[in-house]
């Protein structure tokens, strides 16, 4: 009976998050055919670079302390971790803005930022601060099992974002693409604060001196997770910057659309599943309950879905993109047929990788993340290849490294099971 209750709880929480995430993701997806006809390709290329740079900065903006919010047994420590993360985030945002203001030329050169949109470079730190703040508060909601609130926050964000982008695009305002993104992040942050306070977040009777021991207790996250996680995110976003650097705006825009479509299963299912699994794995660890059966079952289900998805894009890529987004985006369909395995292997491994956090094995993950970054960096040796061959090399690198990552997770869980019964 206990097992049945736990399973039903997992399914319920996952269903709530999945439903909210599906609604939130449906908004930008349904708008894509419209937006791709309203905005120029060079605007989407700029938007891709903007998202890539901000995504990389977000990873280290809190030094990864926000990921530890779900771990303490006492809520008081969880609140302190939230405050610590928010404080680091604000400081990081200020330092980023100062670096851009003092050395704009160097930053533009390093990020390959398109000169036509250099104004957006100055707004990138604000986008980072807003997203990181809402993400930190989201971990508090996960801790409190407020999955419905977490899901609804995403809906509010995407609604605000899509409204500004669609209305601005209809008015021939090219800047609306990124202003809509910023508006969505702002709304997400405001709503996340409100939801957190509704779900037990309180700073009353807390003392600043209490932050230091908590920061020390979870120092493995900044020491062994921040830099490797940055490298991992850079690895995910670097291909966009490399394509923008090695080829042209058209190739960058086509690749970015391909990425958005292939990332949809990850954004729709993986995000929701990862958050529920993080809470579930942590609970199982604290209760000394077996983790291996759930790990294997989830891998089986996601692998089956991944294989079907790969076959779908291989068979329908070019015509599908032509119908949905217009004939001018048919090349993105060709890219999707090549890149589908690269993104689907992430779909299989990423949800169960939260066991790394639950079992506090971030040092082991750091080694893999660093190696993966070096592997993706190796793409620079293939810059002479045509775009399709370049993406094929990227797919092979992804497959190799994520299969290795899955076996690392398997060995970590096997070690936990031995200690549990020992």
pLDDT tens-digit profile of 390-405? 999 999 999 999 999 9
149 and 89 housed in the same domain = yes
415 and 388 housed in the same domain = yes
68 and 200 housed in the same domain = yes
Say if residue 110 is exposed, middle or buried (CB neighbours under 10 Å; 0-12, 13-18, 19+).
exposed
More confident residue, 155 or 266: 155
Which of the given ranges, 53-62, 103-112, 310-319, 361-370, has the highest pLDDT on average? 310-319
170 and 25 housed in the same domain = yes
Distance CA 101, CA 40 (A): 28
Domain end position, chosen among 197, 218, 239: 218
More confident residue, 237 or 18: 237
Say what the pLDDT of residue 422 is: 63
8 and 128 housed in the same domain = yes
CB 261 within 8 A of CB 329: no
The owner of tokens 């299989």 is: 348
Say what the pLDDT of residue 255 is: 85
40 and 99 housed in the same domain = yes
Of the candidates 317, 322, 309, the one whose C-alpha atom is nearest the C-alpha of residue 33 is 322
275 and 383 housed in the same domain = yes
In the numeric block, which tokens belong to residue 150? 């977490």
- pLDDT value at 362 more than 90: no
More confident residue, 196 or 244: 196
Q: What is the mean pLDDT of the chain?
A: 84
Distance CA 387, CA 403 (A): 25
Distance CA 284, CA 354 (A): 13
41 and 164 housed in the same domain = yes
Q: CA angle, 47 as apex, 268 and 116 as ends, to 5°? A: 180
Say what the pLDDT of residue 1 is: 38
Domain, as residue range, for 83:
1-218
387 and 410 housed in the same domain = yes
314 and 371 housed in the same domain = yes
74-128 per-position pLDDT tens digit: 888 889 999 999 999 999 999 999 999 998 888 887 777 777 778 888 889 999 9
Say if residue 255 is exposed, middle or buried (CB neighbours under 10 Å; 0-12, 13-18, 19+).
buried
Domain end position, chosen among 162, 188, 218: 218
Residue 224 is given by DSSP the state: I
140 and 260 housed in the same domain = no
Say what the pLDDT of residue 4 is: 43
252 and 339 housed in the same domain = yes
Say what the pLDDT of residue 369 is: 82
Q: What is the mean pLDDT of residues 217-232?
A: 76
Distance CA 300, CA 96 (A): 42
Predicted structure pTM score: 0.66
Say what the pLDDT of residue 20 is: 66
Looking at the structure of the chain, the number of domains it has is: 2
Say what the pLDDT of residue 9 is: 59
């Amino acid at each position: 009976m206990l097992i049945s209750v736990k399973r039903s709880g997992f399914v319920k929480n996952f269903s709530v998050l999945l439903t909210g995430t599906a609604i939130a993701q449906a908004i930008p997806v349904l708008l894509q055919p419209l937006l791709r006809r309203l905005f120029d390709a060079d605007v989407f290329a700029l938007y891709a670079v903007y998202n890539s740079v901000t995504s990389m900065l977000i990873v280290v903006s809190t030094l990864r302390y926000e990921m530890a919010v779900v771990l303490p047994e006492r809520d008081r420590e969880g609140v302190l971790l939230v405050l610590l993360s928010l404080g680091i985030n604000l400081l990081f945002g200020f330092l980023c803005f100062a670096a851009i203001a003092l050395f704009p030329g160097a930053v533009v050169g390093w990020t390959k930022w398109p000169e036509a949109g250099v104004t957006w470079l100055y707004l990138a730190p604000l986008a980072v601060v807003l997203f990181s703040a809402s993400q930190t508060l989201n971990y508090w909601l996960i801790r409190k099992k407020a999955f419905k609130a977490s899901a609804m926050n995403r809906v509010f964000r995407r609604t605000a974002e899509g409204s500004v982008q669609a209305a601005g695009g209809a008015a021939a305002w090219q800047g609306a693409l990124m202003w809509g993104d910023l508006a969505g992040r702002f709304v997400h942050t405001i709503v996340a604060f409100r939801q957190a306070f509704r779900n037990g977040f309180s700073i009353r009777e807390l003392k600043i001196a209490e932050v230091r021991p908590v920061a020390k207790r979870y120092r493995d996250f900044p020491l062994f997770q921040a830099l490797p996680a940055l490298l991992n995110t850079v690895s995910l976003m670097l291909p966009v910057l490399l394509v923008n650097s090695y080829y042209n705006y058209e190739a960058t825009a086509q690749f970015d659309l391909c990425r958005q479509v292939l990332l949809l299963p990850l954004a729709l299912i993986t995000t929701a599943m990862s958050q529920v699994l993080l809470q579930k794995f942590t609970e199982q660890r604290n209760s000394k309950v077996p983790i291996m059966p759930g790990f294997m079952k989830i891998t089986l289900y996601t692998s089956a879905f991944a294989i079907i998805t790969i076959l779908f894009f291989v068979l329908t890529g070019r015509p599908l993109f032509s119908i949905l987004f217009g004939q001018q985006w048919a090349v993105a369909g060709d890219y999707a047929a090549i890149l589908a395995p690269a993104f689907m292997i992430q779909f299989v491994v990423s949800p169960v990788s939260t066991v790394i956090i639950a079992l506090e094995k971030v040092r082991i993950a750091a080694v893999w993340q660093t190696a993966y970054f070096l592997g993706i960096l190796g793409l620079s040796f293939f810059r002479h290849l045509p775009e399709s061959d370049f993406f094929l090399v990227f797919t092979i690198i992804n497959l190799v490294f994520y299969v290795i990552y899955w076996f690392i997770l398997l060995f970590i869980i096997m070690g936990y099971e031995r200690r549990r019964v020992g």
